[in-house]
Amino acid sequence: MTRRRLLLLAPLGATVLAGGAFFAMLVRMTQGKFDPRGVPSMIIDKPVPPFDLPDESGAKLTNADLATGRPVLVNFFASWCEPCVEEAPVLMQMKQRGVPIYGIAYKDKPNATLGFLRGHGNPYARIAMDEPGRVAIDWGLYGVPESYLIDGQGIVRWRYVGPLTADVATTQVAGLMRKFA
């Protein structure tokens, strides 16, 4: 194989490699493992970002309250968020199965939040009111709803972007609750 022949085969070689890579990307996209638009979470395996917010009754809710000794789910939601309506029944089911869920209301007026909960049920043990939305930014939030699993020591272990489905609740969340129990 002369040097010239190798050089002339280079464009084909590069194309085949690129084609293979794109094929892998497409396959993974259909499997949900590749998302060009997804933003990674920077707080996985790190302690919960410090925060200090009022809760629904006016009391303080801080990051320390999330380290309860058992894993808890933190769910960012808002009354103005449509997918949150889809998610509400799933959260209620998880509450019934004994999953402790803490809510953080993102950029929402307390009246609106309470109205939303009255209408769709309240799965939350406590709800922090992040009206300015700054705490969410500290968590790396880029849309609602997002859910995070915190282990017993207050370390973030898992994040889910978008409305939780019954499928994710039974397969992933249940497994994680057992793993970090």
Partner 1 sequence: MIPELGHFALALAVAFAFAQGIVPLWGAYRRDARLMNAAPAIAIGQLMALVVSYACLVWSALVDDFSVLNIAENSHSLKPLLYKITGTWGDHEGSTLLWCLILAGCGGAIALFGRKLPGSLRARVIGVLGATACGFELFALTASDPFTRVWPPPLDGRDMNPLLQDPGLAFHPPILYVGYVGFAVPFAFAVAALLEGRVDAAWGRWVRPWALGAWCFLTGGIALGSWWAYYELGWGGYWFWDPVENASLLPWLTGTALLHSAIVVEKREALKTWTVLLAIGTFSLSLSGTFLVRSGILNSVHSFANDPARGVFILVLLGLVIGGSLLLFAFRAPAMTGSGLFAPISREGALVLNNILLCSITAVVLTGTTYPLFADLLLNTKLSVGAPFFNATVFPLAIPVFAAMALGPMLSWKRAALWPAFRRLWWALLVALAAEMFVVLKMHALPAMAFGCAAWIICGALADVVDRARLFRVPLHDSFGRLRGMPRAAFGTTIGHAGLGVTIAGIAGMSLAVQSIVLVKPGETVHLAGYDWTLEGVRDAAGSNYSARVATIDVRRNGKLVTVLEPSLRTFPVQQMTTTEAAIETNGLRDLYAVIGGEREGSAVLRLHDNPLAPWIWFGALIMATGGMISLADRRLRIGAPARRAVPAIAARA
Partner 2 sequence: MRALALALFLLAGPAFAISDPSEMLPDPKQEARAEQIGSQLRCLVCQNESIENSGADLARDLRKIVRQRVVAGDSDRQIVDWMVARYGNFVRLRPPFDATTALLWGSPLIALLAAGGIVMAGRQRRDEAAPRALDSAEQAKLRTLLEQ
Rounded CA separation 28/33 (Å): 5
Backbone angles phi, psi at 23, to 5 degrees: -60, -45
Residue with tokens 């004994």: 98
- Contact between 138 and partner 2 by CB under 8 A: the answer reads yes
CB of 48 to partner 2, least distance (A): 13
CB of 108 to partner 1, least distance (A): 21
- Contact between 47 and partner 2 by CB under 8 A: the answer reads no
- Contact between 64 and partner 1 by CB under 8 A: the answer reads no
- β pairing state of 126-130 and 101-106: parallel
- Helix boundaries (H) for 34-165: 82-96, 110-120, 134-139
Contact indicator for 54, 129 with CB cutoff of 8 Å? yes
Rounded CA separation 125/86 (Å): 20
**Among residues 43 and 67, whose Cβ is nearest to partner 1?**
43
Rounded CA separation 104/81 (Å): 13
Name the token pair of 176: 């994680």
Residue 83: contacted member of partner 2, partner 1, none (CB under 5 to 8 Å, by partner type): partner 2
CB of 138 to partner 1, least distance (A): 19
Residues 29-58 interacting with partner 1 (rule: CB under 8 A): 29-30, 34, 36-40
**Among residues 4 and 118, whose Cβ is nearest to partner 2?**
4
Q: How many residues bind partner 2 (CB under 8 A)?
A: 19
Rounded CA separation 73/11 (Å): 51
Rounded CA separation 65/52 (Å): 10
- Contact between 1 and partner 1 by CB under 8 A: the answer reads no
**Among residues 7 and 59, whose Cβ is nearest to partner 2?**
7
Task: State the residues that interact with partner 2 by CB under 8 A.
Answer: 3-4, 7, 37, 39-40, 42-43, 83, 107, 133-134, 137-140, 142-143, 162
Task: State the residues that interact with partner 1 by CB under 8 A.
Answer: 4-5, 8-9, 11-12, 15-16, 18-19, 21-30, 34, 36-40
